[in-house]
Structures are given as C-alpha cells and as structure tokens.
Amino acid sequence: MGANGPINLCLLVEDGVATLVDAGIPGTSETLLSYLDEIQLAPQAVRRVIITHHHVDHVGGLPEIVKLTRAEVWAHSEDAPVIDGRVPRDEIPPERLEAMLAHLAPEQRAAALERMKQMMGVPGVRIDLSLVGGEELCVLGGVQILHTPGHTPGHLALFLPALSLLIAGDLMRYDGDSISASRHGSASDPSEALASARRAAALEFDAFVGYHGGYVAAGAKELVCESLRTATR
C-alpha cells in the first residue's frame, strides 16, 4: 500500500478480499481509504488486520480501521494484552526518545512530543484471533505466519512462498544498502531478535518488505545473509 509516514503497510488482495498487515499510526484510515478507492474496493473488503506487534506505530490506526472496515484483528497471544488494553504500554525510554527527536527544530520537537502523547493514549482493540505462529492464511498461494520474537515477545512475520516474499514487520529493516536485524535500542531482546532474523533468513525469498526503511523487489535474501554474517550474537 506504500508508505504511511515512517512506516510501510501491506495490503494483501485476492479475489476482491483484502488482508491488511498492521494499522500504522492514527490517521492511517485516510491512506487506506484512498488506496482502496484507487483499486476499486469498498472498506468492507478488508476482512482482517494482522498485527505484527504491539508498538503504537503499528496499532495506532487500528481503532479507526476496525470501525471503518469491521475487520477481524489477529495478533500473537504474547502481544495481545497490550493491543487490547489489558496491559499498559511501556513509556519510551528517555535515551531512545532523545535519539528520535534530536534532529528536530524546537517547534517540531514540541509537535512531535504532542503527537507521541496522543499515540500512547490510543485505546485498546479486541483481538478476534490469538495466534501462536505456524498458522497459514489461504490467500495468494498461502501466507505462513511466523513467530519471530525479539523486537517484542509476540512479534510476527509473514512468508509468502508463492510470491517469494518476506513481510518482516520490525524484525529487520532495509536502509538502502543492507537489511539488518532489529536494532538494540528498539528490541525487547536483541539476542532473540537476531536469532529470529537468522531463522527467517533460512527461508527462500527474493522480495522483502520491512516496516521501517524501504523494501526490496529482488535479491533480498542475499542482502539479509550478508548482513547476518557480520552481526554479533
């Protein structure tokens, strides 16, 4: 579906039925509506939203999208309590927050802080299907749902063998030169995130979508393997 601010979103469409992977930040429904109109689908064509993990930039738009589409919400059981509001969100660590805002001018910084405050207050949304990893969605030749913990305990990635495509969520990111595992400052368990990335790298894929940074249409597996060869355990 293209980029939505700092995050990429995927819409998987087959025979007029759509699956949205992640819900982005608040306001994402506008981007979704525009794209659905472009491909001549009604909002109700989105039957499910698969959430890769509970971070607010991936679920901030979920309440409005569910209201708009009436889609089911699928998420891993370990991240579900944060998504549905049973467990409060962790505050962003001060050092990470400072790194995120360091490049902004003072007026931009104030606006960004207000936006983050708004995002952290996003209400919970009911999970309709709690996942554990290993499930398969029967669209586009089969979508394998992978449990790839480390960035969060319940992080998910999707593998589409028929399309030779890995949808990595925040498991890995493409920065224009390489595809690297989830960064230390953003992963709940960096060692586990690296182990998950290594397992994903064993799959046969040529294309790659990371939810921050860019995407790769061909040659992605080679980039992943090259990066992981030099990564520390």
Q: How far is CA 84 from CA 47, 92, 126, 127, in A?
A: 19, 19, 5, 6
State the Cα–Cα distance between residues 196 and 214, nearest whole angstrom: 20
Where do runs of H (alpha helix) occur along the chain?
A: 28-38, 56-59, 62-69, 80-83, 94-101, 106-120, 190-201, 220-230
pTM of the model: 0.89
State the Cα–Cα distance between residues 157 and 52, nearest whole angstrom: 6
Please provide the CATH number assigned to the domain covering 2-86+125-230.
Answer: 3.60.15.10
Give the residue extent of every domain in the chain: 2-86+125-230
The structure tokens listed for 91 are 């505050």
Give backbone dihedrals phi and psi of 216, rounded to 5 degrees, phi first: -125, 125
The closest alpha carbon to 125, from 188, 65, 69, 76, belongs to 65
pLDDT in tens, 100-147: 677 778 878 777 777 777 667 789 999 999 999 999 999 999 999 999
Pairing between strand 172-174 and 179-181?
antiparallel
Residues 6+ apart with CB under 8 A from 179: 172, 173, 208, 210, 216, 220, 223, 224, 227
pLDDT score for 16: 96
pLDDT in tens, 43-62: 999 999 999 999 988 999 99
pLDDT score for 99: 67
Q: Residue 78: how many CA atoms within 13 Å on its side-chain side?
A: 15
State the Cα–Cα distance between residues 191 and 41, nearest whole angstrom: 42
pLDDT tens by residue, the chain, 233 residues? 544 445 778 999 999 999 999 999 888 999 999 999 999 999 999 999 999 999 988 999 999 999 999 999 999 999 999 999 999 887 776 776 776 677 778 878 777 777 777 667 789 999 999 999 999 999 999 999 999 999 999 999 999 999 999 999 999 989 888 888 876 567 889 899 999 999 999 999 999 999 888 889 999 999 999 988 877 54
DSSP secondary structure string, 185-201? GG-SSHHHHHHHHHHHH
